[in-house]
Amino acid sequence: GEDVEQSLFLSVREGDSSVINCTYTDSSSTYLYWYKQEPGAGLQLLTYIFSNMDMKQDQRLTVLLNKKDKHLSLRIADTQTGDSAIYFCAVRNTGGFKTIFGAGTRLFVKA
């Protein structure tokens, strides 16, 4: 079945850029998402990208998709302490009922 992998930890200084990486195995993945989970809260959608796109930018967030390598990344520019959270990569096929989540990357932002 589909597998989604992420590194578990990332530590950056405030003001630097953060890049969170994700790889997936199913080349027919159509929708690729990034969710954010703050302490004690549920997951919240940050952004998503369709498989026919290479890049999507939304304010401080840039998503890059390399379909050939099945690699997805989330770049957060000017990282703030409020960005400290767990970031989950998730993928789904067209018409698929199941969204597969990665294990989450814990982002620590040092002041």
Partner 1 sequence: DTAVSQTPKYLVTQMGNDKSIKCEQNLGHDTMYWYKQDSKKFLKIMFSYNNKELIINETVPNRFSPKSPDKAHLNLHINSLELGDSAVYFCASSPGTSGGSTDTQYFGPGTRLTVL
| Site residues, partner 1 (CB under 8 A) | 31, 33, 35, 37, 40-45, 48, 50, 86, 88, 92, 94-99, 101, 103-104, 106
Nearer to partner 1, 14 or 86 (CB): 86
The nearer residue to partner 1, 14 or 101, going by C-beta atoms, is: 101
Closer residue to partner 1 in complex, CB, 37/84:
37
Q: How far is the CB of 24 from partner 1 (least distance, A)?
A: 15
Helix and strand numbers (H, E) in the chain are 0, 11
- The neighbour count for residue 91, using CB atoms within 10 Å, is 26
The SS3 assignment for 43 reads: strand
User: Whole-angstrom Cα distance, residue 94 to residue 82?
Assistant: 34
- Euclidean distance between CA atoms 29 and 63, whole angstroms: 16
3-class secondary structure, 73: strand
CB of 42 to partner 1, least distance (A): 3
CB of 61 to partner 1, least distance (A): 15
